[in-house]
Structure 1
Amino acid sequence: MPGSILVFWRGSPRGWNGHVGFYVSESAGHYHVLGGNQSNAVTTAKLSKRRLLDIRWPESYPVKGERVLLSLPHPPL
């Protein structure tokens, strides 16, 4: 859902370094995340879905949305 907080590993999945940003959209293999320290600016970065550790959303706030897909996957041939 747009606005969800996404947590990614950086360097190593078991390391302490990471990246946190807000979900904007996604494609087949990547999440597009709004973050505040990407190249010393607020930008949208494309991060591999394989690096995702967690997705957070406040329990007290109802979910009123869905994924934002930039491109639909092609059907199998």
Structure 2
Amino acid sequence: MVQLVFVDVDGTLVGKEGVPACVWPAVEALQSQGVRLSLITGRPGRGHALAYARRLDPMGLHVFESGAVVLAFSRDPHSPALHPLLV
């Protein structure tokens, strides 16, 4: 069984007209089956890319700037909201 899927942004998650309406229900269906989703992109970890990552998995690891930055969203409510694992 697939446990983790990395999702690219430009041309995969986001098309010419933005994120297609069918994407988020498909994401929810995968999550309900226990599949984790992580964003992987050449974009920096802010703005729309960060919002997409949070929506894919608010507690996950996400890769930005073509692998130069890996962000881990915090699971501890007393720690910062996100921190870099690799810079």
Normalising to structure 1: TM-score of the pair? 0.30
Larger Rg: 1
Which structure features the higher share of helix residues? Answer: 2
Q: RCO greater where, 1 or 2, for CA within 8 Å and sep 6 or more? A: 1
Which structure features the higher share of strand residues? Answer: 1
